[in-house]
Structure 1
């Protein structure tokens, strides 16, 4: 058996194990796990594109909802020398797996403090750091509108001015819920989409469809303005004096 075959078999075994782990966690709490399978390669690549686009300079990156590490593994090799990655994961079993991934990843050999895993919710992340890129894997359409508003506001606070937030949403979830869920659940989902639409209109810079994922998904890029509205209004008022 050659090295390629051994490596290929190891990757397949890892993906099967992660798939089973995702199913187990989804059975425990689908609302916070948000899916029944980890993100595929195409979706992981689309989510990490902003980091790839900024390659060549040190970056501060935040991944929220790291799960079993599908996106993390696509992200780590893209980190330039001197970059910093914080991973937020509230599920203790996922957080433990992410720490194992970080400890054993060959790209991080000799730089163990380049990546940190925080077992917490992003709203409770204790940091003064601002980030060039935030990659969100949270199942936002599973939360209440108030929770989504708090999370999105937190993302914008954590971004550097000009920084990019990237996140995904599965296709067809509203139609499925309209057919299968209660009226209250369908209204909650529609209200969450209304919150997200507000942010998309205000900050959106692009949307892509990833068909090669189970299920297919839209990937959104949002950018924090270089100058906030409050600051712009303040500067305008001073100029008129």
Structure 2
């Protein structure tokens, strides 16, 4: 027979990062977008589209509490190469503590050019985004990706996850190649990762690099 104390001990505990995300979502749902951080499987899927052997900065948009940042570091991207743009000041403080080698900038990721100013020492080799793109009009989404392409090397990927079944970036009549991952079922809710590249490069270059 189970005692009352045994049943209490089996209850799942809410993790601190999930609490932080939920609080941020209540305060500003359009900016936060999600009510919990990306799961490890989704974070790894996003990070796997970044080639750690390419030399240059990696920009992360909306890193939140850092699950994708951690996956990028585990992938082999040195923290000193990471440039993190986050709007939430509490998340910024947390990111600076967790990733002291990274450059953490509090600012508007949708205005990357002004936010980064002269921060980049070289063109980015990848832009990784956890922004809730569907909360913005399509022209703003395209403007964001275009800024990313202009601040990156030719052919560098713009990596974006979504819970939706369609591309978060409308692709009709746009010179953009897109690749989508299989659904990541181990994330809650399940998600996909879209990888966009300028039409200057072939669509095949968006394939997942070897681990």
- TM bin, normalised by shorter chain, reads 0.7 to 0.9
- Alignment partners' CA distance in 1, 2:132 and 2:88: 13
Contact 1:59 1:83 (8 Å CA) reproduced: no
TM-score (norm 2): 0.76
Structure 2: state its 5+ residue gaps.
Answer: 1-11, 202-211
- Residue 80 of structure 1 deviates from its aligned partner by 4.7
Distance in 2 (CA, whole Å) between partners of 1:68 and 1:203 is: 30
Q: Pick which of 33-42 and 208-217 moved more.
A: 208-217
Report the CA distance shift for 1:20/1:155 in structure 2 as closer, same or farther (over 3 A): same
- With over 3 angstroms needed to count, the CA separation of the structure-2 counterparts of 1:82 and 1:210, relative to structure 1, is closer
Q: Per the alignment, do residues 201 and 29 of structure 1 end up closer, same or farther by CA in structure 2, a change over 3 Å counting?
A: same
Q: How far apart are residue 95 of structure 1 and its match? A: 1.0
Q: How many residues align?
A: 184
TM-aligned CA distance change 1:100 to 1:69, over 3 Å:
same
Q: Does 1:37 align with 2:24?
A: no
Structure having the larger proportion of residues in helix: 1
Alpha-carbon contact 2:85-2:105 (below 8 Å) kept: yes
Distance of 1:145 and 1:225 partners within structure 2: 19
Aligned Cα root-mean-square deviation (Å)? 2.7
In the other structure, the counterpart of 2:125 is 132
Aligned 8 A contact 2:73 2:79 in 1: no
Counterpart residue number, 1:95: 92
- Secondary structure of 1:216's match? coil
Partner of 1:205: 179
**Which structure has the larger Rg?**
1
